Each structure stands twice: as C-alpha cells, then as structure tokens.
Structure 1
Amino acid sequence: MALLRAVPLSPAQWAEGYALVEELSQRADLNHAPRLYYLPSPEPNAISLGRGKQSVIAITQGLLQLLDERELVGVLAHEISHFRANDIGLLNLAALLSQLTVLMAFFGLLLVVVSLPIYLISGQSPPLLLILLLVLAPYAVTLLTLALSRAREFDADLNAALLTGDPAGLASALDKLKQLHGSYWEQIFPGRTRSSPWLQSHPSTRERIARLLS
C-alpha cells in the first residue's frame, strides 16, 4: 500500500465506512472485516488486496466524490465478495501459472532453435507441432486468465447484489464510472473503439449492468 501512497483509515476517521464494511463482512461470513485505506487520487477506483487478517480495501478520493452512499455500499459489497470467494488468491495463482507458461515456452523455443543444426545435419524435420504448441501456449493461457478474471467480476457483482439486496445501487455506480471513463478515453483517443472483449480483464460495463438488473 505504501507504493500506492495509501493512507490507513481508522474507525474514528471514517466510522460510517467501517460500519458498512463490518456489516457486509458479517453477511458474507468473513472471519475478518477488511481494513480501509484512502488513496489521494482523483481517479475513481477501489482496490482489494490481501486475505484474512491482512485484507484491505483502498478507496480513492475520486470514488468518494463520485458516488453517493447507496452506490458506495454496492462497490464495497463487490470488493468484499472478492474476499469471500478468495478471488485475489485465485487470480494471483492464475497469473503465476501464466508467467510460468510464458517462461517455459520461451526456453522450449530456445532449445528448438539451438537444436536446428542437429536436425539439418541429420536430415530430420524439426518438430513443427511442438513449435506451434510452444508459440500458441502463452496466448492461450493469457486468454484463459482473462476469461477467469471476467467470470470472477460477474460473480462478484451478483454476490454483491445478494449481500446488499440492492442490485440497482451497484448498477448505478457502474453507470457513473462508465460515463466518466468513456468520456475520458474519447477525449484522449477520439474515434477509437474498445478492443476485443476477449482481451479485457473486466467484462463490459454495459453487460455487467444488464446482468445486475435482469
């Protein structure tokens, strides 16, 4: 959290926030309610880190200014749902496996390249299928990791709605974030369209809102 310049908040500094987190944590059957941190950033965002006694939710100044209490409850419930499902640990493991796959594929291709003179001298064909697998494996694992991340976001949304009993609150928060971020990127890259949904770590906000309100 120090790298993010996050400031720990005590219950005395934000009693309402801690009361909300405590109540939502009890509903989610968490043994330990996350601690709250404040990020002095104008970008509206909430970040979940750690697990168990070390679990933390960091909230930016921009998010506090953008959302009303009902919407903030939805966002907090979303983050707590990630802790409940151990999504942080799961996604960290997926990222580690992805990195290991990339590393193994690199050394595998390097070994094939070093062995090419042997294949040429012996008149044998290089293992084309193996080469193809080594080239495609990192891309396949990356796509699977992104798909897992999107699935966990959908589940966190739905579980947050169950915790609060108010899916419209989170949907409203997502809509505000969509309008703000959409306007921001359109100013920087006018005319640019969003990249393929397969390459996104989060599902589209429109689809998330539609699922919440369905």
Structure 2
Amino acid sequence: MLPAFGLYTHIQANRRRSALLIAGLFILFYLMTYGLSLLWLAFADDGSGALDTLLSEAATRTLWLAPLVTAIVGVWIWCAARFNAFILGLATGANDITRAEETELFTLLQNLCISRGLSMPRLRIIETDAPNAYASGMRPEQYTITVTRGLLDRLDKRELEAVLAHELTHIRNGDVRTMMIAVLVVGLISFIGEFAWRSLGSVSRSATGSGKKGGGRFAAMAVALALLIVAWMLSIVIRFSLSRRREYLADAGAVELTHNADAMISALRKIEGKGELQDAPSAVMELCLDNPRKGFSDLFATHPSIEDRIDALVRYAGGQPVIDALPSPAVAGDPAA
C-alpha cells in the first residue's frame, strides 16, 4: 500500500497543478477573444489596413471585452454549478436509488464514508449492461456516485467496494469539482471555436466574391485562425492532463480506503473496454471509471490505459498483476460473494 505521506504529498501537488491548469483554461478565453476580434476586423477591413494595425486594434478591443468575457464565463459556470445534477441525469438516464433497493451498495459506501469522516453522497444507477461508474457534483450537497447495472452484475463485494472507494476519492480530493469546471470551460471553448470556424467560411466566401485584396486582411485572418486552433488544442490537452493524473490518484486512494489493491486490480480487469455508455456525451465518459473512447493512437485518450493503472498499483501499492482468486458472482451482494 502507498505510504500515507507520499499519497497526500502527491494529492496536494496535483491540486496545485490543477489550479494552474484551470487558470490556464480561463486565460484561453482571452486568447480566443483576441482571435475573434482579429477575425472580425479582418472581415470588416476594406483591404487597406496593415497587419500590425489590425493586430493592435484587436488587442485594444480584447482589453475592452475582457470584463464582459469574464462575466459570461462566470455566469456559465454558475448555471452549471446549480443544475449539473439535473443535466447529467438527462444525459445519462440515471435515477436515484434507495437503501431498500440496493442495501449492500449503500452499506459499503456508508462504511467507507464513516471510516474517513466524510458525508454520504447520493447514489444513482444507470440501467445499462456496460460496467462503469462516475462521481459528480460541484458542491457537497450535490455530490453523487453513479453506477451502472452492469457494474453491479459483474463485480463482487470487494471489487464493488474498491470502485466506490475510487469514486469517493475523486470527491474527497476535489476532483469532481475541478473536472466538471474543466469540462464546462472546454465545452464553451469548443462551441466558440466551431462558431468561429463557420464564420471564417463566410468571411472567405465574402472576400472571394467581393474581390477585396491587399493590405493585411488575409494575413490577419490566417493569424486569427491559428490563434483559435491553438486555444482549442491547448484546452483539450489541459483537460486530458487533468483526467489522466486524477485516475492514478483515485486508484491509490481506493487502496488506501480499502487496504485491498488486488480488488481494485480485479475490478479494472473486469470492466476494461466494456464500459462504453452508448448514449452518453464524451464529457460524461471523461468522468467515468474507465473511458474506452480513444483518439488516434491514444493521443487524445482521457484516461491512462488499464494496463498502466494496474502496473502502478502493482509497483506502488503491492497488488498482484494477475488476480485469479477473487470470485465473480452474477450479482453484487449475492450471498455466495
């Protein structure tokens, strides 16, 4: 098992890095504002403006727009903070479950919370065969752990406890709040980027049709496009960096809570590549225990591979790379477990 001092040192360092990354995401809004201002000026230019003049005027407009941009982003985050549970419920079809419906699930989570003096989050379930789970919420009263029916069917009691401990660690470390902010910010950046791309197409057709040439118009359009692409790409890289770091720490936190690295390893092996929530948007999948959706050559994978996570548990938490001893009853909570 990981030494407590080492684990908490990594958690604190990760929180500092995450704060810087989130700040970086917000800075990207100002970069996009500059790019959009430059794009607008290039569109309005009659062909006589020099590139340096357009760049300078775009900078001035960005300074004037900065307070408005900050307010818009703030309102967006506030609305999401208020209604994220409702939005996630609509996106995934998750429903609240009671202790009477899933007594063992409630008992396992309650015992984990008591062992660390944590408040009990709500529990929800998605009726799908895909085995997966995620934690959500931006405030203590919103914290929720959502599991799928497939997860309950595939995992035994010890494995299910490890998964709950993993998700509880995300809540305990403040990961869910950070990740939801990141997802919301990147979602807004992506929306703005798509709008800018469509606008650029209109600008190009208009410029071609009007025959306007010369000056810094087209050079400004090229610079604006480059800035928007860079801002979008950086937002994706930052979001992926946040996701990957947190999964390793949540796995380690699960071992700290359960004292059972082998159960975490066994649970990961059972869900590997099977957790695709068919109708869930990509933002939801990024919150999940395992996200089988990959980019080209895994460059844009939001989670480290299951093998990498198991390797970390073997090297640093004393787990066994191959777990054959843990039973796998048909339904979690079966007396045979």
Query: TM (normalized to structure 1)?
Result: 0.79
Q: In 2, are the aligned partners of 1:46 and 1:57 still within 8 Å (CA)?
A: yes
Structure-2 residue corresponding to 1:199 = 300
> Any idea what SS the aligned residue of 1:199 has?
coil
Count how many residue pairs are aligned between Structure 1 and Structure 2.
203
Deviations 1:149-174 (A, max 9, x none): 11111111111111111111111100
Structure-2 residue corresponding to 1:77 = 165
> Any idea what SS the aligned residue of 1:169 has?
helix
Instruction: Return 5+ residue gaps in structure 1 as ranges.
Output: 183-192
Letter in 2 for 1:88: V
Match of 1:174 among 265, 268, 283: 268
- Indicate how the Cα distance of structure 1 residues 195 and 66 shifts in structure 2: closer, same or farther if over 3 A, else same: farther
Q: In 2, are the aligned partners of 1:8 and 1:36 still within 8 Å (CA)?
A: yes
State yes or no: 1:135 paired with 2:226. Answer: no
Q: Supply the distance in 1 between the matched residues of 2:120 and 2:253 (Cα, whole angstroms).
A: 17
Q: Supply the distance in 1 between the matched residues of 2:185 and 2:90 (Cα, whole angstroms).
A: 27
Instruction: Return 5+ residue gaps in structure 2 as ranges.
Output: 1-88, 277-293, 316-337
Aligned residues with identical type, % of pairs: 32
Alignment of 1:9-158 (within 5 A): 9-30=97-118, 32-50=119-137, 51-105=139-193, 110=199, 114=203, 121=213, 123-124=215-216, 126-127=219-220, 128-158=222-252
- Indicate how the Cα distance of structure 1 residues 3 and 194 shifts in structure 2: closer, same or farther if over 3 A, else same: closer
Q: Supply the distance in 2 between the matched residues of 1:54 and 1:163 (Cα, whole angstroms).
A: 22
Q: Supply the distance in 1 between the matched residues of 2:239 and 2:91 (Cα, whole angstroms).
A: 25
Deviations 1:83-117 (A, max 9, x none): 11222221121122223333454566647974996
- Indicate how the Cα distance of structure 1 residues 26 and 196 shifts in structure 2: closer, same or farther if over 3 A, else same: farther
Q: Supply the distance in 1 between the matched residues of 2:275 and 2:182 (Cα, whole angstroms).
A: 27
Deviations 1:175-201 (A, max 9, x none): 11127569xxxxxxxxxx984232111
Which of the pair has the greater relative contact order for Cα pairs under 8 Å at 6+ separation?
A: 2
> Any idea what SS the aligned residue of 1:44 has?
coil
Letter in 2 for 1:57: I
Letter in 1 for 2:97: L
Query: TM (normalized to structure 2)?
Result: 0.52
Q: Supply the distance in 1 between the matched residues of 2:226 and 2:91 (Cα, whole angstroms).
A: 40
Pairwise CA RMSD: 3.1
CA shift for structure 1 position 13: 3.0
